[in-house]
Amino acid sequence: MSILSPSILSADFANLESDITMLNKSVADWIHIDVMDGVFVPNISFGFPVLKAIQPISQKPFDVHLMIVHPEKYIERFKEAGAEFLTVHYETCKDLQHTVKEIRAQGMKAGVSINPETPVSVLNDIIPYVDLLLVMSVHPGFGGQKFIPETLQKVQDLKKMLQQRGVHALIEVDGGIGLQNAAEIFKAGADAIVAGASIFSSENPLKTMEELKALGENK
């Protein structure tokens, strides 16, 4: 399985409708939406108005990544804004299991993300309750960063953990991903990759997305 989730954090916000229309025509599977609050991460991105604005335009599922404190307060509103996948950070949830169960109760698929410095072992108790595990391969908050190589081992370890537990959650990797490293990320065990700058900064985004997908299908 090779799922591609382009991150609109790298899109042209002056022409966001045009970029969403382009993604509709592409091989992309999801649209990755990074929501940042300037507290958990040192940056502020966008929130409900942007999601609601692009919801009627998009033909792809919203893969929403909450880099915010107290995500449990906003679960219902993100459902209303069109989220199909809703991912929260292990580092921000006081009661992670309750938050994940509430996401599922709202009819969304639940994801949990970990930062580069967080070991995969912290996910051991939560993996039976999630649909998606997001491994950050850069420090969250800004696009265009370099991929952290140690992420590959974390993905391998997480894949083994899932297999040993008989859990079928998807593994997604986010940060610094492009044509130069997508193949090894998929080979390590990732089911989905998030790519932003490598797509939206390319001369031919549609072709780049096709090439990224192909790298996963050839693993």
Per-residue pLDDT 10s for the chain (219 aa) are 799 999 999 999 889 999 999 999 999 999 999 998 878 887 878 888 899 999 999 999 999 999 998 999 999 999 999 999 999 999 999 899 999 999 999 999 999 999 999 999 999 999 999 999 999 999 987 666 799 999 999 999 999 999 999 999 999 999 999 999 999 999 999 999 999 999 999 999 999 999 999 999 876
Catalytic residue among 34, 63, 131, 191: 34
Q: For residue 44, what pLDDT is reported?
A: 77
Instruction: Judge whether 174 counts as a catalytic residue.
Output: yes
Q: For residue 193, what pLDDT is reported?
A: 98
Q: For residue 219, what pLDDT is reported?
A: 63
Q: Does domain 3-217 have CATH number 3.20.20.70?
A: yes
Instruction: Judge whether 29 counts as a catalytic residue.
Output: no
For the chain, domain boundaries: 3-217
Q: For residue 42, what pLDDT is reported?
A: 75
Catalytic residue among 19, 63, 131, 174: 174
Q: For residue 142, what pLDDT is reported?
A: 67
Q: For residue 144, what pLDDT is reported?
A: 67
Q: For residue 95, what pLDDT is reported?
A: 93
Would you say 182 and 4 are in contact if contact means Cβ atoms under 8 Å apart?
Answer: no
Q: For residue 143, what pLDDT is reported?
A: 64
